[in-house]
Amino acid sequence: MANQSGNVYGLTILSPILEDVNAETSHNCAIRMKLASLPRDEHSPFAKVSSTHLARLVVMDDVVYVGMPSCEEHLKSQYLLFETNFDGGLDDYLTRMAHEIGSEVDAVWQHCHGYPGVQDVSAFIAYMKRCQVTTTFYFADVNDKTVGQTLAALQTQAAVARFIDEHQGKSAIELQKSFAEFLQKLKNAPTPVPGRPGSGGPPRIATQMKWGTRN
Amino acid sequence: MTNINHKTYAMNAITPMKWWKTWIVRFFFFILGAIKPLQKDLIQLSFIHFARWVIVKRTGFPRLSEQQPQEELKYDYLIFFSNFNGTWNQYIDAFSAVLSQGLNFIWRWSEKFPGSVPVTPFKQYIARCQFDTDYYYTAYPYATTNDVKAAHRVQAALEDFEKETAGKSPEEFKSAYLKFMITVQCDLGETGKAPIGT
């Protein structure tokens, strides 16, 4: 199925945007203003739907005209384009969107034709599926790891680098003891937070390696 | 710039195709999906987290209500989405240099596609067909694709090392630790802020 690569699902949604010549703010502009106000870090709505690897929202104004001798044509509606890459199945993901970021979803999609809102989750899922466009070819470079596994691995990578840096030249006994403590600390570390700039979630185990500058 | 979230760039491009040509593209993608070795160059580029091509038929734009006007299009459209690390210029240059044949197979059916080599008209074409992203989120903003892959290798090596050294003497542990360091030494690059793009 082209919408999936391994365990990762690639969802593409095209939602037609309402047009109201009497509106004080056009619907496409209202969507853009709302999107511009949404945080893009760990406070992003998509960080709450924690199975999201990467997601984008785009107002597509029109198709392009590439020049003669091709025909010039235009869309009659603008479309809200939602492209997301997540772990697991589509229904679970859309249900999580409705439950966990319903107000943000409503604030954006209320400007689209036929949008039923998230109150009725099954109607919301049915709406999104009507707007779904099947992916023709989907490529995921890492398609067998969840977001949580990736964030944990990034945290581990940083921690291992620091451990190695700090334990050079130690005796075998010291090294074994320190490593056991290190592993325990790593296992007890809180789950990394998606969307947070850094190598993982709190507490970030910052590395202090200075490549090529060590005296 | 909304196309960029720290180390990752969101690219969208749409190109028109005559409807009967889309079947050729679909067939090509079917072959590409079925024969994994054909994706070798795409994997080796190693700066694309996720990419997708979506063909929207001229009658395939969703119509959700009677109030929505019916689209009347002559062309089918190929929409390309990419999530990559680095700058736009680096990406297009690398695409043109490494994947030129593959790109030509995909886009040669689009109207006025000039070919991926030479790169200047290719870039002009992409720039004309590209549209900007309004909102972009990534769960790991400081990590490149290579960082992600390296981190998973370190994680796997650490888990193996832990199992292997359980109950070992300090001397045996140290010996295994040295081997572990050699295994992961190339994968310990630090994540962090993106360099300033050019």
Q: How far, in Å, CA of A135 to CA of B83, rounded? A: 15
pLDDT in tens, chain B (198 residues): 589 998 899 999 999 999 999 999 999 999 988 888 888 777 777 889 999 999 999 999 999 999 999 999 999 999 999 999 988 898 899 888 888 888 898 999 999 999 999 999 999 999 999 999 999 999 999 999 999 999 999 999 999 999 999 999 999 999 999 999 999 999 997 777 776 654
To probe the interface with A, which of B23, B50, B174, B191 has the most A CB atoms within 10 Å?
Answer: B50
pLDDT tens profile A54-109: 999 999 999 999 999 999 999 999 999 999 999 999 999 999 999 999 999 999 99
What are phi and psi for residue B77, nearest 5 degrees? -125, 140
Out of A58, A140, A153, closest to residue B12 by CB: A58
Q: How far, in Å, CA of A104 to CA of B63, rounded? A: 23
Q: Do A77 and B69 touch (CB under 8 A)?
A: yes
CB-count exposure of residue B114 (10 Å: 0-12, 13-18, 19+): middle
Which residues of chain B neighbour A16 with C-beta distances below 8 Å? 61-64, 68
Token readout for B27 is 């067939």
Contact yes or no for A17/A80 (Cβ under 8 A) = yes
Give the confidence band of A11 by pLDDT, cuts at 50, 70, 90. Answer: very high
List of residues 6+ apart from A136 with CB closer than 8 A: A2, B25, B26, B29, B52, B53, B54, B55
Range 45-84 of A in CB contact (< 8 A) with B: 46-47, 50, 52-61, 63-64, 66-67, 70-71, 73, 75-77, 79, 81, 83
Q: Do B50 and A16 touch (CB under 8 A)?
A: no
Confidence check: pLDDT of A203 > 90: no
Model's pTM, two decimal places?
Answer: 0.91
Give the confidence band of A204 by pLDDT, cuts at 50, 70, 90. Answer: very low
> Would you give the DSSP letter of residue B109?
T
> Would you give the DSSP letter of residue A17?
B
Contact yes or no for A168/A122 (Cβ under 8 A) = no
Contact yes or no for B133/A56 (Cβ under 8 A) = yes
List of residues 6+ apart from A166 with CB closer than 8 A: none
Out of B55, B131, B187, closest to residue A58 by CB: B131
Q: Is A10 on the interface with B (CB under 8 A)?
A: yes
**ipTM exceeding 0.85?**
yes
The SS3 of residue A101 is coil
What are phi and psi for residue A63, nearest 5 degrees? -80, 175
> Would you give the DSSP letter of residue A60?
E
